[in-house]
Each structure stands twice: as C-alpha cells, then as structure tokens.
Chains A and B, each alone.
Chain A
Amino acid sequence: MRSSRGAAIPFVLLLTLALYALAWGTFVSASSALRSARAAVTVSELVAGVEARVVREIERGPPGLADSIAIGSSGFRGDSSNVRPWRAEWTRLDRETWLVQATIWPGEEDLPGTPLRAARLVWVLDPQARILALADVTVADTATVTAGNAPPGLTISVVDSLVLGLLTVDGVAEGLPRLAGVVTPRFATRSGECDTSVAENLGDPTGTSVCRDVVSLRGVDQGIEVRGGTGHVLLAGQGDISITDGALLRGILMTAGRVRVLDGTFEGLILAGRGVEVAGESIFVPDRASALLALEALRDVRSSGRLLRPIRNVWGG
C-alpha cells in the first residue's frame, strides 16, 4: 500500500482561497462603484425632472379653477402612477402671486432616496385685481392727455413704464393676430359660429349675432385706424390707435404710442405711452366691466405664470 503525506493539497487550497479573496474584493469594489454611479445618475435625473416639472407647471398656470383658491390655500396637480410620482402645489400668496412647488419621488426601479423639490415665486394675471389696480387712463410721464368732454372723476395715472402687472406691452401683444392700416370691423360667422380667425372680426358688442360675447385680442405693430363699425377688443402693441367715422370700441387699448378718439366712442380703459386725445364730440367712457371682459379673454389665452425673480429655487437647491 502506498501512503503519501505531501503538502500539495493545503498549498492548492491556500492559493485558491487567496485568489477567491482577491476576486471577491474586486467584485465588491466594482459593485460599489456601479451602485454609486447609478445613485448619481438617479439624482441627476430627479434634479432635471423636478426642474422640468416646475417649469412646465408655470407654463400651464394654476390648477383647476384658480379663482376658487383662497389666499393662503393651495391647489394641486399630480400623478402617482407615473414611473416617478410627482406632485405640484400652487399656493396663493396674493391675488396674483403664487408659490409653485414641485416634488418628485424616486421610482420603484430607482435606488431608495429622498424626494426632490423645486419652488418658484410666480405672478399670474388676475383680471379683477388688475382692473382694480388700473386708472381710467395710464400714460407715460412725458405724455399728454387731451379730452374735450372728459367724464367727471376721470382718473389718470402717470408711470415710468407701461405694464400690465408683469406684462409689458410687447408681452401682452405677443402671439396675437395683427391689425394694420385702416380697419373696418365686421363680425364673421362660419358654420353657425363666430369666426374669430378673421382679423377684422372684433366681435359684435351691440348686436345680437353669435359674436356678441366675443372679445377679440389683436396686436398693433404699426398705427391703425378703426374706421366705423363696432368691436369689443384688447388692442396691444407699439403703434398709434385712432377711432374714426363713428366707430364704437369697448375693452382695453394698450399701446406704446398714442390713442386718439377722433370721431367715435371708446368704452373701457386706456394705457397709452405717448398720450391720449379725445376730440370734441367723441366720447370716452371709463367702463371697467368691458375692460374686465377683455382681460379675462387675455387670461384665457395667456394663463402661464411669470417668474417674480430670476432664481432657480426659493429655498435653494
């Protein structure tokens, strides 16, 4: 019988153990680095996600019926079924001032982590608040106001720059259909409905057509003359606005130029950088109800908010 008592087997086992230990260390190190990288990627994605969410919220405007949210209260949007659940909270600080906060949570496939938040202070046009803040006539400090038969108690405000809250003249006019030259308003219908795609259709405020409740929003880059006809409008831009030939306009006229009511009637509020002229027999009625409807029409097409300050987060981060 042959008996062998060599040390080869212990040596081999020892060597195997050493190699295993080395391999295990390398594996743990690689696994840790991978996990760390995944965590960093997740955080970066969440940061980008919450920033995008709060920006999108500001573009959409307050949730639901914003008018029903009292000062100090909040409205919410959210999606808990999303891969990464999110929630947006709109807290009303004032009639037109909101705190918008977005929160996003890591998804089920992400590494566990805390939710990320981003917040902005935002101004959103509130027609009633804006109407209360406006004078009957607002002009720049170098402008003149000439009104032959001005109504009693006419209020005039002189300002450094013509704005509607945080909206400049160009901000109001942005994206609106343009009017230029001589315009004779005429309401137009198509398939039984008011056809607002026609530039000269400024509504039918004194008639009974389907356009009687329509408020037309138009941009005025160059001077226009509204010759005859009627309309319920918000006209905004850089050019002069003249009302002639017995025309009747209601709403808001907001221009960096002049507003001249030479032969006709205007019922509403005027913001004119270079002044206002109401000729002898013409009529200007500071009608806030018509102006309110015009601002509500503007709010409906421009519900997005504007940042109160150019900061990325109210609290930082």
Chain B
Amino acid sequence: MTLRCSGVTLLEALIAVVISTVVVTLAGRTLLHAMAVSRDAVVRDDRLIARRIARVTLRSELAALGPGEARSSGGDSLRLRAIRGAGRVCRIESDWIVADLRAGRSPEPDKDSLELMGPLGAVQVVDLIGTGSEPNACGANAVGRPTRLRSSGPVDPDVVFVRLFETGAYHLDLGALRYRRGRGGRQPLTPDVWDERSSLVFDAPWIRASLVDARAESTAVPLLVRVW
C-alpha cells in the first residue's frame, strides 16, 4: 500500500498561522521602533549639531578678542567685535594703509572698522571708509591679498598689524543661536532646539551657556568655554 500525502494538514496550517503572526508582529514592532529611533536620532543630531555650532562659533569669535571687547546683555546675548580679517601693514600714509589682508570676506566700508596695532601692542580703532586693491604693495612675501584701507582719521605712523572687524551680537532666541550684525535682523545659526530658559552669559574669561532642551525639559547642558 502506498501512502499519499498531498496539501497540508490542519496542524501544519495552524503552526504556519502562528509563526506568521509572530513574524508579522515582530516585523511591525521593529518597524515602529526603528521609526521612533530614527526620529530620536534626528532630534539628537540636531541638538548635537546646534551645541557644536554654538561652542565652536562662540569660542572662535571670543578667542580673537582681548578683555573688554565683548560683553553680555540680558542673560541671553553677547555683543562683541567680530574679527573678519587681519594682516601685516605694508604701507602707511596719513589716513590710509595697505595691508597684506587675509580675510573671510571682502572689507565693506559701510559696516567694518579697523583695529590698528602698534609695535608694543597699543591699539587704535578707526572706521573703514574706503577700500581698494594694491596687488604689488606688499612685495613678494605677501601671503594674503594686499588691500588699501582708508580710515576715518589719521593713522599712527608706527602701526604694524591691522584687524578688520564688525560689531555684532549673538543671541539665544526662539530656540536657536542667532547672529545679528549691527542693527540688522537676527539670522539663525543653529536648528531651533532650545527653550526660553536657556541662557548665554560671558563672564570673562568664561562663556557660560545653559542650553535647555526644548523636548526634554530636564536636560540642561552647561557649555563652559575658557577664552583666555
């Protein structure tokens, strides 16, 4: 007698249904979990990016300044000279200089000022009222772009170095770190991840920032940077 077996038995069908149910449930939960993890990762990534930008930006700006060139106001903002370029002074006339300028952007007379430094560190601050190119004024050793900078007043004849700066302010506002140049608008530099309890204080030589996470209310990240 030959035993023939075709199709599935009831028992096999039941086992298949149970296994399918388990697998589908597992897959569904895994998918939901993965989506939650992904959302959290994006949020955490935003927080990390925002914190890193705040730390690097503020430290970078303040590292270029001496005492008295930055001050806090209102517990959430920091007003300072934002250095945008610097260079060796190659030539001096009564109210202009030529500098071997290395700058992140071109000098702009309507918003930039000049910090002129003497050989013993004395500093003279004047407004920038005009610029021009002087390609050969700094000789063969020039490393930047030789630039003529006209000042609003007479220049000390012994200045050796110039720094180009604009007056700006960093604010913690609407959940993000924002930069405001002069009287312009506040441009966000980071994602908006912090709530209104966050604070930003410059207590020389330290920057003390308490960044309170907008989504996790108990998390306050102290950002402490020594400038000098």
Residues of A within 8 A of B (CB): 2-8, 11, 14-15, 18, 22, 25, 29, 72-74, 91, 93-97, 99, 121, 123, 165-166, 308-317
B42 → A minimal CB distance (Å):
13
Assess the A315–B83 pair: CB atoms within 8 A.
yes
B104 → A minimal CB distance (Å):
9
The contact of A308 among B30, B88, B120, by CB within 8 Å, is B120
B52 → A minimal CB distance (Å):
9
Assess the B20–A3 pair: CB atoms within 8 A.
no
Q: A72 contacts which chain B residues (CB < 8 A)? A: 88, 90, 138-139, 141
A36 → B minimal CB distance (Å):
9
| Residues 49-95 of B contacting A (Cβ, < 8 Å) | 59-67, 83, 85-86, 88-90
Q: Does B19 contact A (CB under 8 A)?
A: yes
Assess the B102–A315 pair: CB atoms within 8 A.
yes
Contacts A3-B6, A97-B160, A123-B121 given; does A74 touch B141 at CB 8 Å = yes
Q: Does B43 contact A (CB under 8 A)?
A: no
Q: B163 contacts which chain A residues (CB < 8 A)? A: 314
Bound form: Cα–Cα A212–B65 in Å:
48
Bound form: Cα–Cα A18–B29 in Å:
12
Chain B CB within 10 Å — which of A72, A73, A165 has the most? A72
Assess the B16–A11 pair: CB atoms within 8 A.
yes
Contact with A along B93-127 (1 / 0, CB 8 A): 00000000010000000000000010111010000
Contacts A3-B6, A18-B27 given; does A311 touch B63 at CB 8 Å = yes
| Residues 1-58 of B contacting A (Cβ, < 8 Å) | 3, 5-8, 12, 16, 19-20, 23, 26-27, 30, 34, 41
Assess the B23–A18 pair: CB atoms within 8 A.
yes
A263 → B minimal CB distance (Å):
38
Assess the B121–A309 pair: CB atoms within 8 A.
yes
Bound form: Cα–Cα A72–B64 in Å:
22
Q: A4 contacts which chain B residues (CB < 8 A)? A: 5
Assess the B23–A15 pair: CB atoms within 8 A.
yes
Bound form: Cα–Cα A22–B88 in Å:
58
Q: A316 contacts which chain B residues (CB < 8 A)? A: 60-64, 83
Contacts A11-B19, A72-B141, A314-B64 given; does A123 touch B228 at CB 8 Å = no
Minimum-distance CB pairs A-B, first 6: A316-B64, A308-B121, A312-B63, A93-B160, A94-B119, A316-B60
Contacts A3-B6, A22-B30 given; does A315 touch B66 at CB 8 Å = no
| Residues 144-201 of B contacting A (Cβ, < 8 Å) | 158, 160-161, 163
Q: Does B227 contact A (CB under 8 A)?
A: yes
Bound form: Cα–Cα A15–B26 in Å:
9
9 further A-B contacts with Cβ under 8 Å, apart from A5-B8, A99-B161, A121-B121, are A4-B5, A18-B26, A18-B30, A29-B41, A72-B141, A311-B64, A311-B66, A312-B63, A312-B64
13 A-B contacts (beta carbon < 8 Å): A11-B20, A15-B23, A72-B141, A93-B119, A99-B161, A309-B121, A309-B123, A310-B67, A311-B66, A314-B163, A315-B85, A315-B102, A316-B60
Q: Look across to chain B and name the residue whose beta carbon is closest to the beta carbon of A74.
A: B141
Assess the B161–A315 pair: CB atoms within 8 A.
no
A32 → B minimal CB distance (Å):
10
Contacts A18-B23, A97-B160, A314-B64 given; does A7 touch B16 at CB 8 Å = yes
Assess the B120–A166 pair: CB atoms within 8 A.
yes
Assess the B119–A97 pair: CB atoms within 8 A.
yes
A40 → B minimal CB distance (Å):
9
Contacts A123-B119, A311-B64, A313-B64 given; does A91 touch B12 at CB 8 Å = no
Q: A312 contacts which chain B residues (CB < 8 A)? A: 63-64, 227-228
Q: Look across to chain A and name the residue whose beta carbon is closest to the beta carbon of B23.
A: A15
A310 → B minimal CB distance (Å):
5
Bound form: Cα–Cα A91–B30 in Å:
61
The contact of B161 among A2, A5, A6, A97, by CB within 8 Å, is A97
Bound form: Cα–Cα A309–B120 in Å:
9
Contacts A123-B119, A311-B64, A313-B63 given; does A73 touch B141 at CB 8 Å = yes
Assess the A94–B228 pair: CB atoms within 8 A.
no
Assess the A308–B23 pair: CB atoms within 8 A.
no
Q: Look across to chain B and name the residue whose beta carbon is closest to the beta carbon of A32.
A: B41
Q: A314 contacts which chain B residues (CB < 8 A)? A: 64, 86, 163
